[in-house]
Amino acid sequence: MKELAREKALSRGWRAGVLGVMAAGFGLMILLNLFPAGVVQLYDVVQNGYAHARSLDFTMHGFFHKSEWVRVIGDMTFILVGTLPVLLGTLLSVKAILTGCSSPAVAGQPALETHHAR
């Protein structure tokens, strides 16, 4: 994306910020749900067997089920502050390309040309 559109359409700091927020969202998902729930489930596998740890009785009650709802914090961070700005940046880049504002990806190469079928 960054090679197709001008830096003005999608600034370097903006891209880095969005990727940082996406990484933070993934980190929250891991810290708030995947790691703690995985430890609890592993303990249940050792104590009661794999079938019990995967059963609805285990996954829909207690800490395991509550930790799934806490994960929403990381999910929303990833979606709202990470993914939606990437979509916006993609649309801005496509707009820049279609309006003829594209610049060469590498110095010395011709600019990206678009050809329309007649």
User: Could you read off the pLDDT of 60-117 as tens digits, one per residue?
Assistant: 988 888 888 888 888 888 888 888 888 887 888 888 888 876 554 444 445 555 555 5
78 inside domain: yes
Of residues 29 and 10, which shows the higher confidence score? 29
117 inside domain: no
Domain count within the chain: 1
> Alpha helix locations (H) across the chain?
12-29, 35-48, 50-54, 56-59, 62-70, 72-78, 84-98
44 inside domain: yes
118 inside domain: no
Cβ 89 vs Cβ 1: under 8 Å: yes
104 inside domain: no
- Tell me the residue range of the domain where 67 lies: 12-96
